[in-house]
C-alpha cells in the first residue's frame, strides 16, 4: 500500500535531494496536496552537515530556504513500507533496493518518475497519489531503454554543470507537479501554480516580459 511519504535520495544529501524535496514540498504547501510528507536523505551522507552554499543560493532564487537543512544518512530505519522514493541517480535506486527490496514498485529516479507520470497523465491520469505511483511503475516497464535517468551531480563542477543540474531537476519537478495537479483528490489549482521555469535565466526572461495577471504561487518579490 502506497502511503503519503515521499523520500528524495542523492549521495551526500547536500545538493540534489534537498533541492528537489524543497521544490516539491513548497509548491504543494497549500490545499490537499500538503498531505504528501516529503523529506530527503543521502546514501553516503554525513549526518548534520549543512546544504552546499551553491544550492542554498540557487534555492533562494526559487523562493526556497535551505539554510536550516541538515543532512541525513539513508539507512533501513529511514525507509518505511509504502514509501515512494525518488532518487537522483540509478545508483541510488540500487542502494535503496539493497536496503528494502520490498519497495521495488515505488522506487524511481526523479527523471524516470517524471516521464512515467507524464505518460500516465496523458493516458487519462489516476484517481489519487497511490494510484499515480502504481500506474507510474507499470508505465516504466514499457519505456524505451537507454534514456538518461540521472540528475547530474554538480559538486565541484563548473557553472555549466550547475546549470544542467538546475535544468534537469526543475523540469522533472514541474512535470511531477503537473501530474499531481491532475489528481482529483489533490487541489489541482494549487499544484498547477507550482510550475517553475527550467532555469533562473528563464525566470529572469519572464520578469522582462509583460507581467502576468497574478504572480505564480510560491515566488517572492
Give residue-wise pLDDT tens across range 124-158.
878 889 999 999 999 986 655 556 899 999 999 99
Q: pTM, whole model, 2 decimals?
A: 0.84
71-to-39, 177, 183, 209 alpha-carbon distances in Å: 11, 25, 31, 38
Q: What is the pLDDT of residue 122?
A: 85
State residue 217's pLDDT score. 43
149 CB contacts (<8 Å, ≥6 apart)? 89, 90, 109, 111, 112
Q: How many CB atoms lie within 10 A of CB 220?
A: 9
Give me the pLDDT at residue 195, please: 52
pLDDT digit string, tens, across residues 51-86? 999 999 999 999 999 999 999 999 989 999 999 999
Mean pLDDT score of the chain, rounded to an integer? Answer: 84
Q: How far apart are CA 21 and CA 38, in angstroms?
A: 6
Average pLDDT (204-216) is 38
| 84-87, strands of its sheet edge to edge | 37-42, 5-10, 84-87, 107-109
Q: What is the average pLDDT across 41-46?
A: 97
From the number of C-beta atoms within 10 Å of its C-beta (0-12, 13-18, 19+), residue 4 rates as middle
Give how far Cα 111 sits from Cα of 24, 69, 90, 148, 207, Å.
14, 23, 10, 8, 27
Q: Nearest-5° angle of CA 37, CA 43, CA 45?
A: 90
Sign of the CA dihedral with 173 first, then 179, 182, and 185 last: negative
Give yes or no for residue 165 having a pLDDT over 90.
Answer: yes
Amino acid at each position: 500500500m502506497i502511503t503519503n511519504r515521499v523520500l528524495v535520495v542523492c549521495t551526500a544529501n547536500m545538493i540534489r535531494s534537498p533541492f528537489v524535496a524543497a521544490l516539491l514540498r513548497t509548491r504543494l504547501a497549500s490545499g490537499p496536496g500538503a498531505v504528501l510528507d516529503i523529506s530527503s536523505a543521502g546514501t553516503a551522507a554525513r549526518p548534520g552537515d549543512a546544504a552546499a552554499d551553491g544550492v542554498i543560493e540557487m534555492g533562494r532564487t526559487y523562493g526556497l530556504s535551505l539554510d536550516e537543512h541538515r543532512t541525513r544518512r539513508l539507512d533501513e530505519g529511514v525507509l518505511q513500507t509504502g514509501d515512494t522514493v525518488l532518487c537522483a541517480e540509478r545508483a541510488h535506486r540500487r542502494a535503496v533496493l539493497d536496503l528494502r527490496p520490498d519497495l521495488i514498485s515505488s522506487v524511481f529516479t526523479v527523471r524516470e518518475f517524471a516521464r512515467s507520470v507524464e505518460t500516465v497523465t496523458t493516458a487519462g491520469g489516476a484517481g489519487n497519489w497511490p494510484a499515480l505511483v502504481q500506474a507510474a511503475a507499470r508505465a516504466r516497464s514499457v519505456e524505451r531503454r537507454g534514456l538518461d535517468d540521472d540528475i547530474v551531480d554538480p559538486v565541484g563542477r563548473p557553472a555549466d554543470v550547475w546549470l544542467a543540474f538546475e535544468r534537469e531537476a526543475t523540469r522533472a519537478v514541474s512535470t511531477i507537479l503537473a501530474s499531481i495537479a491532475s489528481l482529483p483528490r489533490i487541489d489541482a489549482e494549487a499544484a498547477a501554480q507550482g510550475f517553475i521555469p527550467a532555469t533562473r535565466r528563464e525566470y529572469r526572461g519572464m520578469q522582462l516580459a509583460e507581467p502576468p495577471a497574478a504572480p505564480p504561487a510560491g515566488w517572492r518579490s
